[in-house]
Structure 1
Amino acid sequence: MSSLPSVNWSYPTAVRFGAGRIKELPDAVKAAGMSNPLLVTDPGLASLPMVADAIASLEAAGLKAAVF
């Protein structure tokens, strides 16, 4: 019986958090080279105002955003 190898994943990514940081989202998306960002969340969070605010800020910056 063979065993699966041990693997370490390292995916460097910036984590930004704190009050008011959502206003930085359009600049972060543009810096990543995106023009059609997809916001992936669950149904409970999708209905919260913060998701609507995120989408509104992206669209106000000329980015075509979608929620899944």
Structure 2
Amino acid sequence: MGNGSHSTAQDSVPFVLWFAATHADDYRVAVTACVEAGGDMDTTAAMVGGIVACRTGVPADWPARREPLPPA
């Protein structure tokens, strides 16, 4: 199972699903572990975060720590 370094769905999706299933109860751990695995980190971490957030929600302090969005 790959880490998304080749940026194909056949490589990234099983990797992401494994991380999401392994860390389904802890958003921070799931996203952090996915990033630490390397490869296409932004894509795989976003996918893992989206899946795990459906179960746990996003930690309350994370939205306040993001980069500011441009005005609409």
The normalised TM-score by structure 2 is: 0.38
Name the one with the larger strand percent: 1
| Structure ID, larger Rg | 1
Name the one with the larger helix percent: 2
* Higher RCO structure (Cα 8 Å, ≥6 apart): 1
